[in-house]
A and B are shown apart, each in its own frame.
Chain A
Amino acid sequence: MSELTEYIQFVLAPQMITGLALGVAVVLVALGLTIIFGLLDVINMAHGEFYAVGAYLALALGASGVSFWLLLVIVPLLMVPLGYAVERGLIQRVFNTPDRHVTTLLLTFGLGLVLEEGLKVVFGPNTQRPPTPIAGAVEVMGVILPSYRLFLIIVGGAIVGAVALALNKTRLGAIVRAAAFDRNMAASLGVPVTRVFAGTFAFGVALAGLAGVLLAPIYSVFPTMGRDFIFLAFTVVIVGGMGSVAGAVVAGLLITQVQAMASLIVSPVWSDPIVFGIMVLVLVVRPQGMFRRLGHA
């Protein structure tokens, strides 16, 4: 009996919390992806690179003395004009081509390439790690938890909740959902659709940047960090249902827990195949994902 409680206390519970921290971070990134897809019908292949840009901004500003708490506000705010400019300057240019999915995917893929290489030019290819803003650990019911991961879970969870609330309960959220449901009808009712599109894209990019700030102290910062992370985020979006906010949250937490538990049994090397296996299974059984698309109740 005591062996079991010890296993739970020292192996299972910490592993679950680690998985949960990763899950919350993945949800933050996937949330931006899925909102952008739900509204604009665009697969943002550069999303991982926006996440990396956020992390690097935090690193650079942090090194010049800006406190971590300020970074949590400043970096997303800095990402907004970047996202807005990308939507208006690049995506809108090819938005009305017949094959929008493929064209925008290609365009954002190219953008991701440029951003990633740009990060290498500016910051060098090496891995860097900002100091952990909250050191130490707390003990909850005999389980020792790193404080920063706990903080990440709470703050990330609060942001996800706020986004869901804003989308479903506010006037602005109603506008976004209306535009996602039928952009022409929304436009004819006076919704400034082009600005809503650009604003939503910028918002998604800001969320990715925020995830970058939050995760930099745990997973380090390197130019290809976005590429490694985005596969997981894409899987979450597919499994949850492209364009579904609830789906991204549920799938994000579920997949990262499966991953965390699986790594107790098999080598962590197999985490990608497991994630991919889940994705294929969902696509085969239910290609539209678990939940409905944004704006489609």
Chain B
Amino acid sequence: MAAVIPAEERIASRLDPRAQLGSLWRHPILRAALKAALTVLAATTITFTLIRLLPGNPIDLRIEELTRDGSVSYESAREQVSALYAIGLDEPLPQQYATYLWNILHGDLGTSFLSRGVPVMGIILAVLPWTLFAVGTGLLLSFVVGIGLGLVAAYKRGSFFDQAVSTIGSIISSVPNYLIAILIVLVLGVQLRWVPITQMRGAFSPGIQPGFSLEFIGDVLFHAALPISVFFLTQIGHWILSMRNATLASLEDDHVLAARARGLSDRRITTAYVGRNAVLPLVTQLAISVGFIVGGAVIIEQIFVYQGVGQRLVRAVAQRDYPVMQGILLLVTISVVVANLVADLLYSRLDPRIGRAGDA
């Protein structure tokens, strides 16, 4: 029997802010959102540090550059750089940080070095969707196909199919993804000429009207086919092996034997009893993969001349366009954080053991 808590104590605990915050923390969705916000905050702090604080940082360098030949005064140099980076340089450091955050929240990431006056945010938003599209499609395709193959491989454990699929999968996923991209260009494009690589450059063919027409969508897919294929190939091995292991473990579960004792059909057991339990840990890995693939996209887009955010980053690096570089880092991090958030939410819906209110 629980001890009787006096009424005043119960009421007091309900009004206590710390207890309220504690209960907030327990709610899984809010907790995930809070974590996401904190991570973005940390990422902005990191970029701020890189851009402003570390020795040899671009802001100081730029000011020095501008004032070196004497044509620009120190104050106006500071003004210019201030506007370029969306950081108020006259203010004390903490306030610079605050202004920086404030600007970011309003979508102001500064303006590009090279293209004077063009806001960084606009530049990035023009190319980011293409990358997210290719990465997302490749990831989802590899996930779906991978878990299918992994499930079958587990059921046919030890068979030729299993050994072949597992070995091939693990070989392909060990090779760095950008090397596979180079190989595709090298072998399929140049040597064998099976793939028209020059025609596939760019996000879509010049001259085609963007819009929701079948023609445009087909064209987009044509151009994105190579990056998507690389993302697909380099990830699929991981999903196959993970799902295979997860399924093998799931097959040992007691409830699977109990389900067979109840006369459930093999198909029902495979999908709802074995499969659903096996997939769960893989969903958490989905989000982690996004960050990794986006990193590889930097080189891969360069190789296929695909106008996504990766290629834009390489260009910014070549042109020393630091505001664009910083902006890309921030926006890509935010994209990954959002992807993580979505994956967390998806997981909490799939696994009833996580974050249900009113447990027994």
Tell whether A pairs with B: no
Residues of chain B at the chain A interface (Cβ within 8 Å): none
